[in-house]
Amino acid sequence: DTGVSQDPRHKITKRGQNVTFRCDPISEHNRLYWYRQTLGQGPEFLTYFQNEAQLEKSRLLSDRFSAERPKGSFSTLEIQRTEQGDSAMYLCASSLIQGFSGNTIYFGEGSWLTVV
């Protein structure tokens, strides 16, 4: 079990640049989530996929943010025209749907973004 993998782990970028994060979920997991976390706060939901379908997007996900999960495998989160307020840790998680009452979600180590 290789766990959820995120890349890069750290990214420093200048304001206005575009950045892309990649997430490789646990194999056979059909759900994939993106969260954002700032210092001292809990993770905030951004979006999630079931297979390749993006089922929900948070209002936090402005039009500068886009997420994809082609073929229902890895996912990318792209931030265009970065702003200093985008500085945060971006967390990816995955889970396997089993029944109605819920399932464990497993997180990666996160990708730190610093916008200077």
Partner 1 sequence: SQQGEEDPQALSIQEGENATMNCSYKTSINNLQWYRQNSGRGLVHLILIRSNEREKHSGRLRVTLDTSKKSSSLLITASRAADTASYFCATGSGSGTYKYIFGTGTRLKVLA
Contact residues toward partner 1 (CB under 8 A) are: 4, 31, 33, 35, 41-45, 48, 55-56, 89, 91, 93, 95, 97, 100-110, 112
Rounded to the nearest whole angstrom, what is the least distance from the CB of residue 24 to partner 1 in the complex?
14
Least CB distance from residue 107 to partner 1, whole Å?
Answer: 4
CB of 83 to partner 1, least distance (A): 21
Tokens coding 25: 């979920």
Which CB atom, from 27 or from 104, has the smaller least distance to partner 1?
Answer: 104
Burial code (b: 16+ CB inside 10 Å, e: under 16) for 73-91 equals ebbebebeebeeebbbbbb
Instruction: Supply the minimum distance, in Å, between the C-beta of residue 109 and partner 1.
Output: 4
Q: Which is nearer to partner 1, 10 or 15 (CB)?
A: 10
- Residues ≥6 apart with Cβ < 8 Å to 27: 2
